[in-house]
Amino acid sequence: GEEVAQTPKHLVRGEGQKAKLYCAPIKGHSYVFWYQQVLKNEFKFLISFQNENVFDETGMPKERFSAKCLPNSPCSLEIQATKLEDSAVYFCASSQSGGPYGYTFGSGTRLTVV
């Protein structure tokens, strides 16, 4: 399809529970990026993939966050043992390549940790 599909749109988790978010990039886009936006503030880069390989993970809080992009499956971002400060909107974007192409964003998943 021509849009980046993120599911679910909303997710509520109790503190300490696991949260798993999904992203289906546009067909033919080989790069996938995850960003976190807390309270409409700055977009924080988390991780990027080139196909199923991690390209850049410098933004990932590695203790509790993990991500995968497996062939023929939506990409996923998983947060183990969620904390209140994980409450944010998580955006996924895809790009045709890592070079001159722009990004197309999904509509985001709003995670609320209570």
Asked if 105 is part of the footprint of other proteins (rule: CB under 8 A), the reply reads yes
In the bound state with other proteins, the residue whose beta carbon lies nearer, of 41 and 53, is: 41
- Contact between 35 and 46 under an 8 Å Cβ cutoff? The reply is yes
Asked if 22 is part of the footprint of other proteins (rule: CB under 8 A), the reply reads no
Asked if 104 is part of the footprint of other proteins (rule: CB under 8 A), the reply reads yes
CA pair distance 93, 108, nearest whole angstrom: 9
Report which secondary-structure segment, H or E, holds 31: strand 31-37
Contacting other proteins (CB under 8 A), which of 8, 16, 61, 98? 98
Asked if 61 is part of the footprint of other proteins (rule: CB under 8 A), the reply reads no
- Contact between 109 and 20 under an 8 Å Cβ cutoff? The reply is no
C-beta neighbour count of 11 within 10 angstroms: 17
Enumerate binding residues for other proteins (CB under 8 A): 33, 35, 40-43, 45, 48, 55-56, 58, 91, 93, 98-108
